[in-house]
Amino acid sequence: MQINALTGAFGAEVFDIDLKGGIESEQARSIEEALAENVVLVFRNQDLDIYDFERFAMSLGEFGETPFIAPIDGHPNVLRLLREAEEKGPLFGSGWHSDWSFQLQPPSATLLYALEVPEVGGDTAFTNQYLAFESLSDSMQSILRDLKGLHSAERSYGPQGTFGQPDPGSSMHIQGDETAVVLQAHPLVRSHPLTGRQSLFVNEVYTVGIEGMTKTESSALLEFLFEHSRQIAFTCRVRWMPGTLTMWDNRATQHFAINDYSGSKREMYRITLAGEQPVLN
């Protein structure tokens, strides 16, 4: 396996590995370590069917739970992210977020495999939440270590949310409901179970408040943290090609699906891996 950095900040492309037909457990451990270190890993030119994709994911962990979106028939852990060329509605994933951070145990990692992509456009952007935290002053770091963020799926999947009502024009079967309004508290700063590094665990899609603070207080602090996290020096961007598989570590990154490919089709398979309850050690 050869690993080439994507940017000076983080992210890496992985070469000399064929994911079709399964990988050895030693290779799986190397990938886990590389992911923890690089946060985003991009595997190019992989020729996978849905079974290969599931097998690769299972070699790295257990499947995570996927709420609100209908999976592929016969493959309860795989989503098809499909946007047809003529679609106009809100784009799934188009807002800075860490996957399902409103769950008690949000997914550790997400795997996305490109079947069909626009000739240009449809990239995915990532932030590095280790760098976002480490670049703050010692005083701000110690304030944040004492706080818990409140996460909720309401803005996306609540009855009034972006995907709250069925959209007949959408190729994806997204169905929000009232369960989305539940609040889940997580530390604003979490320790990574493999690296021990601390990262800022907030995102503008799902983090809706801070425990013990008024709305005005929490909004001001969260706005600062959202803006701080997405500064260009803490980001990288993945350009897709058919056969690209990208995986990211939700414990240390936010991501954003860029909506700049109107008139083109984009189709992906997506799996999340089960994670643990975030803690700060």
Does 93 interact with ligand SIN (rule: CB under 6 A)? yes
> To the nearest whole angstrom, how small is the minimum distance from the Cβ of residue 140 to ligand SIN?
28
Footprint on residues 122-141 left by ligand SIN (CB under 6 A): 124
User: Given the complex with ligand SIN, which of 120 and 220 has the nearer CB atom?
Assistant: 120
Footprint on residues 30-89 left by ligand SIN (CB under 6 A): 81
Q: Kindly state the number of chain residues that form the binding site for ligand SIN, as judged by CB under 6 A.
A: 9
- 1, 14 in Cβ contact below 8 A? yes
> To the nearest whole angstrom, how small is the minimum distance from the Cβ of residue 246 to ligand SIN?
8
- 254, 127 in Cβ contact below 8 A? yes
Does 275 interact with ligand SIN (rule: CB under 6 A)? no
- 172, 93 in Cβ contact below 8 A? no
> To the nearest whole angstrom, how small is the minimum distance from the Cβ of residue 89 to ligand SIN?
14
**Other beta carbons less than 10 A from residue 142's beta carbon:** 11
Does 257 interact with ligand SIN (rule: CB under 6 A)? yes
Does 111 interact with ligand SIN (rule: CB under 6 A)? no
Question: What stretches of the chain show up as alpha helix (H) in DSSP?
Answer: 25-38, 50-60, 129-134, 138-145, 154-157, 215-229
DSSP annotation of 233: G
SS3 state at 263: coil
Q: Which residues bind ligand SIN (CB under 6 A)?
A: 81, 93, 99, 110, 124, 255, 257, 268, 270
